[in-house]
């Protein structure tokens, strides 16, 4: 099982070579990429290789995947990515009803087949808006997973918490779809707290022990991903996440 750092967490602490040194010194296996790492994929691959780090998965915007699929696949191959993850919809692009979510699911189902046809896995990464019910109380995350039945899921447990959901319920209900998990916590009064209300793993309001026990039951889980959307101290985040992860993993 791999431990990865989502490099979006480090975007405010560049240059990337120094960040990768910090990731390596904190004993992570590798990183999860995002668009800022794709400007010169070959050069970024060299930075990874020089440090013995891997990038087995990366986030790719739907705009790139749908408008320039060949470029996205080329980036993934160059960086050694094997799981392509669609991570986000801007507010103006988010469906507002059941019909809209079904249309999005059809787009993702098509992408899933195309990406798999190139030899990669494909997954969706959630935020909180996928858990806001539409008509008949249906939850968009369920709509996506049901209507794109072969698409995997990178479950961001922090955003599930932020949406008022229970990560345990989702992990149990969708165990066979989860291939990676983003691990971050929330602070009390997160709407007004510093660091956008996020907390390092093990330093927020949640009880992670039963969640880590559930990880052992996920048949296709490949990676635990360290993330904090807006840390003020990258060293602190990397160090505390790693320490909490080791402690929690040892208790299962």
pLDDT in tens, 4-37: 999 999 999 999 999 999 999 999 999 999 999 9
- Residue pair 195/233 in contact by the 8 Å Cβ criterion: no
pTM: 0.97
pLDDT-derived band of residue 56, with 50, 70 and 90 as boundaries? very high
pLDDT of residue 190: 83
What are the extents of the domains in the chain?
Answer: 2-250
Q: What is the mean pLDDT of residues 61-70?
A: 98
Q: What is the mean pLDDT of residues 146-154?
A: 98
Give per-residue pLDDT as tens, 210-249: 999 999 999 999 999 999 999 999 999 999 999 999 999 9
Environment class of 208 (CB within 10 Å of its CB; exposed 0-12, middle 13-18, buried 19+): buried
pLDDT of residue 86: 98
- pLDDT higher than 90, residue 139: yes
Higher pLDDT, 189 or 131: 131
pLDDT of residue 1: 86
User: By percentage, how much of the chain surpasses pLDDT 70?
Assistant: 100
pLDDT of residue 244: 98
Compute the CA torsion angle 228, 91, 86, 177 (nearest 10 deg). Answer: 80
- pLDDT higher than 90, residue 111: yes
Secondary structure, 3-state, the chain: CEEEEEHHHHHHHCCHHHHHHHHHHCCCCEEEECHHHCCCHHHHHHHHHHHCCEEEEEECCHHHHHHCHHHHHHHHHHHCCCEEEECCCCHHHCCCCHHHHHHHHHHHHHHHHHHHHCCCEEEEECCCHHHCCCHHHCCHHHHHHHHCCCCEEEEEHHHHHHCCCCHHHHHHHCHHHEEEEEECEECCCCCCCCHHHEECCCCCCCCCHHHHHHHCCCCCCCEEEECCCCCCCHHHHHHHHHHHHHHHHHCC
pLDDT-derived band of residue 182, with 50, 70 and 90 as boundaries? very high
pLDDT-derived band of residue 131, with 50, 70 and 90 as boundaries? very high
Q: What is the mean pLDDT of residues 195-209?
A: 96
- pLDDT higher than 90, residue 99: yes
pLDDT-derived band of residue 189, with 50, 70 and 90 as boundaries? confident
- pLDDT higher than 90, residue 82: yes
pLDDT of residue 130: 98
pLDDT of residue 252: 82
pLDDT of residue 191: 82
Q: What is the mean pLDDT of residues 103-109?
A: 98
- Residue pair 27/54 in contact by the 8 Å Cβ criterion: no
In the CATH scheme, what is the code of domain 2-250? Answer: 3.20.20.150
């Amino acid at each position: 099982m791999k431990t990865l750092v989502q490099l979006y967490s480090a975007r405010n602490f560049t240059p990337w070579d120094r960040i990768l040194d910090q990731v390596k010194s904190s004993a992570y296996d590798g990183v999860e990429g995002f668009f800022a790492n794709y400007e010169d994929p070959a050069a970024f691959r060299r930075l990874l290789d020089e440090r013995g780090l891997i990038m087995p998965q990366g986030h790719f915007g739907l705009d790139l995947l749908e408008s320039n699929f060949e470029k996205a696949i080329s980036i993934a191959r160059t960086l050694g990515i094997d799981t392509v993850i669609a991570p986000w919809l801007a507010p103006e692009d988010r469906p507002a009803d059941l019909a809209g979510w079904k249309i999005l699911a059809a787009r993702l189902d098509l992408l899933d087949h195309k990406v798999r046809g190139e030899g990669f896995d494909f997954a969706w990464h959630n935020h909180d808006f996928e858990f806001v019910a539409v008509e008949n109380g249906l939850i968009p995350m369920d709509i996506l997973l049901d209507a794109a039945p072969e698409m995997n899921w990178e479950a961001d447990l922090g955003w599930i918490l932020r949406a008022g959901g229970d990560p345990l319920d989702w992990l149990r209900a969708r165990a066979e779809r989860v291939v990676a998990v983003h691990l971050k916590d929330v602070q009390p009064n997160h709407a007004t707290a510093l660091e956008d209300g996020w907390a390092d793993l093990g330093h927020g309001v949640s009880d992670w022990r039963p969640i880590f026990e559930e990880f052992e039951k996920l048949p296709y889980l490949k990676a635990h991903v360290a993330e904090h959307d807006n840390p003020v101290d990258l060293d602190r985040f990397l160090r505390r996440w790693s320490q909490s992860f080791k402690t929690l993993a040892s208790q299962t």
